[in-house]
Amino acid sequence: MAIFKGAGVAIATPFKANGEVNYDEFARLIEFQIENGTDAIIVCGTTGEAATMSEREHMDVVKFCIDKVAKRIPVIAGTGSNCTETAIQLSKEAEEYGADAVLSVTPYYNKATQGGLYAHFSAIAKAINIPIILYNVPSRTGCNILPETAVKLARDHKNIVGIKDATGNISQTIKMMSLAEGCIDLYSGDDDQIVPIMSVGGLGVISVLSNIAPRQTHEICQKCLDGDYATARELQFKAYPLVKALFSEVNPIPVKAALNMVGFEAGPLRLPLTEMEDANKAHLREEMIRYGLEVK
């Protein structure tokens, strides 16, 4: 059975002005997501700025999210690292806290071979019992899980069950799904490719857009799941300008600005990320209003 179907939010982590995690606002954001139909929460991923958290802080945020959600929807913990032992440690801890699954990104910077990727993810899979979703985002990591490697991992390890595909390469995605013959669940890692990915067998999206438009993102996915691709396509087209604005600077710079605009106290970013440029922020605001969001 799939961990989730539909729109899973790659949730942002609110910070206070002094840089500490704002747990009160994080709790508010979690409740907003659940109340508005989000199908799963992915905590401490790229959008959650896990890369600038200490390991202890990272896992404190994961535990807080798991406890707050309290099994109402699945919680998937980002536990990837470019150090295999660290990824194992974080994944074990997430399992102990009650995570429904982990999201494990390809080892960034190291640029492992396909054999290295297989060994890395195999070691994690052997160390935990909960499901693993692989995260393939070559533009950020410099490393690409090829279709053959993803399928071999899913076939050789029963708890490697899915992949977040943020390659932007639909040809590679189709090849993977044709080789997989149903052995791996596919999720779009890009909000502008929800419908294309779901049309070739994807079950949903791990979404940045969902932070500010959870119900709308869920609806795109649900129409696909219902087989109503005509409506899903129109909803995808409607969201496209806003999605592009949300990626006009590196994620999560724009989405944190957007959260602040809709009334959340998402707070600042942690260096080396900086605040959004004024021109891009003005354009983002315009697209949010055009999309029908209430902006403060």
Across 157-178, average pLDDT: 98
6-228, superfamily in CATH? Aldolase class I (3.20.20.70)
- pLDDT band for position 157 (50/70/90)? very high
Q: Give the separation between CA 218 and CA 210, rounded to whole angstroms.
A: 8
pLDDT interval class at 296 (50, 70, 90) = confident
- Average pLDDT of span 166-174: 97
Please work out, in degrees rounded to the nearest 5, the angle formed at the alpha carbon of residue 204 by the alpha carbons of 199 and 207: 125
Summarised one tens digit per residue, pLDDT across range 18-50 is 999 999 999 999 999 999 999 999 999 999 999
Cβ atoms 186, 203 nearer than 8 A? yes
Report, as residue numbers or ranges, the catalytic residues: 135, 164
Q: Which helix (H) or strand (E) holds 7?
A: strand 6-10
The pair of structure tokens assigned to 199 is: 């049309």
What are the structure tokens assigned to 134, written together? 């692989």
Report whether 49 contacts 211 (CB < 8 A).
no
Nearest to 50 by CA among 9, 105, 116: 105
pLDDT value, residue 88: 98
User: Percent of the chain having pLDDT more than 90?
Assistant: 99
Interval 238-256: pLDDT, tens: 999 999 999 999 999 999 9
Percent of the chain with pLDDT over 70: 100
pLDDT for 1 equals 79
Predicted model pTM: 0.96
Query: For 58-100, what is each residue's pLDDT tens digit?
Result: 999 999 999 999 999 999 999 999 999 999 999 999 999 999 9
How much is the mean pLDDT over the chain? Answer: 97
- The domain ranges of the chain are 6-228
Q: How far apart are CA 44 and CA 262, in angstroms?
A: 22
Please tell me the distance from the alpha carbon of residue 200 to that of residue 38, in angstroms, as a whole number.
Answer: 22
